[in-house]
Structure 1
Amino acid sequence: MAKKRAPRGTGTVYERPDRGDWTGQIAIDGHRRTVYGKDKTAARAAISALLKSDGQTDQKTTGLTVTKVIDEWFERDLAGRDRAPQTVELHRWAADRIKVSIGKRKAATLTVRHVDDMLDQLTADGLSRSSMLKLRGTLSQALQFAVKRGDLPRNVAKDATIPPSATRTAERTSLSPTEARTLLGVLRGERNGLMLALSLRLGLRPGEAAGLFWDDVGDDAVNVTRGVRMVKNRATLSDDLKTAAAKRTIALQPDLAVWFDDHRKAQRVERMAATSWVDDRLVFTSPTGNVLSPPNVRKQLAEVCRRAEVPVIKPNELRHSCASLLSDEGVPNELIADLLGHTTTRMVDETYRHRLRPVVSIPSTWATSG
């Protein structure tokens, strides 16, 4: 029996199993309107409400400005989500930029062109493509929250485009297996070389490696529980990591366990010779036992790369190299995501897909094979 069609002019509704709700769409005055509901009945009711108001939103919400929409999203939605402080700070940075550009505009009258014009202007001001993506993402999440609440009929940020002229972020460098082994050999004799090796071998973020305490290190595993982040230009320890999956336990290969023992002995010698030592909990420190400064770590790695005669890379590119090398060996994306502390495989899928081969086995061989 043929499925009964809805009368012409009443719009269409369809289920979105991936999101657990229903979408309703209808054209009013030549403009397609989209609404959402928890079920088919709710979506139909939302369409009916649009028809009764000639496509306008509820009178109580037509006065909402973009700034108000963003503020309510921060207070009612984002505040209740498990987001790392760094992620929240990025959203606040983006929100501030958006408010300056279009914050006073009524959200109900916001169009795709308005958002495009904002992105064009910010690109002309020198912001990069990655910054544009963050700005559009923040605005889109705020508007989508308003749509779900029935305050807006449509999320116009979804259809906005990033200007082609926006500067693209330079592609990250990934070391080859030979380059990685060469760099590891030089790091073995370097002060705090183990910290950089942990990013290359185990995929630790630079801040995660720098934030390790001796209590986090066992005979056969290391616990990642905190990190080092810059706060007002000062390196500071923080228990808040980047993602929900960032706190993890990673098995240590035997050679890394030996390296930890050697590093502990070397640090004891340093502490005995020093007139004062700031923090004896830290595995990796400055010569006075203080938290390592990320800029100094970058300088150290650059110098080591030059001496090893391999491409000069940044600390986070050691982690990128780790994931690329594991992908190249056929390690499943799910295991790489777990190792790196990602909540999903999306980053691995998008960043390392060009290196994937048919799945073989999990053991890594590049670090030891010739």
Structure 2
Amino acid sequence: MATIESYETDSGKRYMVRYRMPSGKQTKKRGFRRKRDAEDFANTVEVSKLSGEYVMPSLGRIKVDELAPKWLERKQSDVAPSNYRTLESAWRTHVQPKWGAKAVADIDLAAVEEWIADMCRPALDSNDPEKVVKKASGATTVIRAYGVLAGILDDAVKSRRLRANPARGVENLPRKTSKRRVYLTAEDVARLVGEAKQHRVLVLTLAYTGIRWGEAVALRVRDVQFLRRRLSVADNAVQLGVDHAVGQTKSRKERSVPVPQFVLDELAVQCKGRDHEDLVFGDGTDYLPRPKSSGGWFAGAVKRAKVQRITPHDLRHTCASLAISAGVNVLALARMLGHADPSVTLRVYADLFDTDLDAVAEALNTKCAQFVPKPTGSNVATA
């Protein structure tokens, strides 16, 4: 059992708790100002020993800076290069400056919530309260930075340096706001294709197969299955600066995507004269860079076509819209888009399925109304 002793210091009486660790080795904790605080600590130690949750206090003195490299190293092998890049940036920009020099045992929930609040509000000039020195971070940035800190502290819990993660359970994380999706009509797509010039086949492929930009630029001639009218989508090329990192698709699974015949015909022309291992788009050897958001070839085509302002990724949403309007069922659409579960498709494109409710009412009216007897006499409802 733990014992409590008092001792004198220049600042007055203090209390010390002597106790044995689960290994049997004796240790102590000094510096309690009140005997009650020492007793509470002693009781906590004994309970944690009995429950198997005891954590040696000295292990909690490790700094976040010391745990972060291993966590980042593991993430580098677990996630896509583009994702790792954002995690490393979040660590370097937001987490390390605030928490790097802190011992994990000194971090508490209130301090984490205060940090989140600081990121969510703009920093003002101390000499001029009207002047914004730094803009407030967006919800995605804040959530990502919090995830990095929480993940590192999870490692501290796993290695028995903490009993529980002090970052878990925060109540002030911002909510992401859904970005408004833009859906082009088939006529809009036709005009855009006409203005895309040498990139017309790429625009057609994005708009009528729903594959992602990185999946499209990673396509090789061997991936176009002309007899089956399918694309074999297995790779994803992510642009990192001027270079590309090639990895698995977002779902980490190869999928077979159907291709309309009119798109396949143009892909045949695009692939003519290229080897099986050549890339379909671009010069065949180098990955096609993503067009600039302003001043690039895609933005120019959008402007000349006089359609709503969109990005290449919006063509994926357009494909979903066109497929749903053509009567494609949710399961097939989910497989086409590479969603792991059809519920993801329903959630992402819930607005496109609203008209299905009207169709249900119309179908029931057409098929069933004739069998319902007309109200007569006492069956007539009264107000």
TM surpasses 0.5:
yes
Cα–Cα, structure 1 residues 342 and 92, in superposed 2: closer, same or farther, change >3 Å? Answer: farther
Aligned partner of 2:302 in structure 1 is 305
Aligned partner of 2:56 in structure 1 is 58
SS at match of 2:151: helix
Amino acid paired to 1:319: R
Cα–Cα, structure 1 residues 103 and 216, in superposed 2: closer, same or farther, change >3 Å? Answer: same
Quote the Cα distance in structure 1 between the aligned partners of 2:343 and 2:144: 17
Deviation at 1:214, TM superposition (A): 1.4
Cα–Cα, structure 1 residues 103 and 50, in superposed 2: closer, same or farther, change >3 Å? Answer: farther
Quote the Cα distance in structure 1 between the aligned partners of 2:158 and 2:219: 42
Quote the Cα distance in structure 2 between the aligned partners of 1:193 and 1:344: 31
Quote the Cα distance in structure 2 between the aligned partners of 1:345 and 1:90: 28
Aligned partner of 1:92 in structure 2 is 88
Aligned partner of 1:191 in structure 2 is 198
Decide which moves more: 253-262 or 315-324: 315-324
Amino acid paired to 1:63: R
Deviation at 1:228, TM superposition (A): 3.2
SS at match of 2:181: coil
Decide which moves more: 310-319 or 90-99: 90-99
- Identical positions, percent: 21
SS at match of 1:250: strand
Bigger Rg, structure 1 or 2: 2
SS at match of 2:183: coil
Decide which moves more: 105-114 or 240-249: 240-249
Cα–Cα, structure 1 residues 353 and 94, in superposed 2: closer, same or farther, change >3 Å? Answer: same
Pairing partner for 1:224 from 224, 233, 240 = 233
Task: Give a deviation string over 1:216-256, Cα, whole Å, max 9, x none.
Answer: 2120221223333323x3143x4313534353222222222
Quote the Cα distance in structure 2 between the aligned partners of 1:47 and 1:352: 54
* Contact 2:208/2:259, CA 8 A, preserved across alignment: no
Task: Give a deviation string over 1:35-72, Cα, whole Å, max 9, x none.
Answer: xxxxxxxxxxx99427789x973234211222334334
Decide which moves more: 308-317 or 344-353: 344-353
Cα–Cα, structure 1 residues 251 and 109, in superposed 2: closer, same or farther, change >3 Å? Answer: same
Aligned partner of 1:174 in structure 2 is 182
Task: Give a deviation string over 1:137-159, Cα, whole Å, max 9, x none.
Answer: 22223323433443323333332
Quote the Cα distance in structure 2 between the aligned partners of 1:330 and 1:63: 61
Decide which moves more: 336-345 or 121-130: 336-345
Quote the Cα distance in structure 1 between the aligned partners of 2:115 and 2:231: 46
Deviation at 1:263, TM superposition (A): 2.8
Higher relative contact order (CA 8 A, sep 6+): 1
Deviation at 1:297, TM superposition (A): 8.2
Amino acid paired to 2:234: T
Matched, 1:262 2:259: no
Deviation at 1:343, TM superposition (A): 4.2
- TM-score of the aligned structures, taking structure 2 as reference length: 0.64
Aligned partner of 1:147 in structure 2 is 157
Cα–Cα, structure 1 residues 225 and 325, in superposed 2: closer, same or farther, change >3 Å? Answer: same
* Contact 1:245/1:341, CA 8 A, preserved across alignment: no
- TM-score of the aligned structures, taking structure 1 as reference length: 0.66
5+ long unaligned stretches in structure 1? 1-28, 30-45, 272-278, 360-370
Aligned partner of 2:117 in structure 1 is 120
Provide the aligned length of Structure 1 versus Structure 2: 294
Aligned partner of 1:215 in structure 2 is 222
Aligned partner of 1:200 in structure 2 is 207
* Contact 1:128/1:169, CA 8 A, preserved across alignment: no
SS at match of 1:227: strand
Cα–Cα, structure 1 residues 89 and 57, in superposed 2: closer, same or farther, change >3 Å? Answer: same
Q: For residues 353-364 of structure 1, what are the structure 2 equivalents within 5 Å?
A: 353-356=350-353
Aligned partner of 1:49 in structure 2 is 48
Deviation at 1:289, TM superposition (A): 6.9
Quote the Cα distance in structure 2 between the aligned partners of 1:192 and 1:95: 38
* Contact 1:86/1:242, CA 8 A, preserved across alignment: no
Amino acid paired to 1:322: C
Quote the Cα distance in structure 1 between the aligned partners of 2:97 and 2:344: 31
Amino acid paired to 1:316: H
Deviation at 1:108, TM superposition (A): 2.1
Cα–Cα, structure 1 residues 80 and 331, in superposed 2: closer, same or farther, change >3 Å? Answer: same
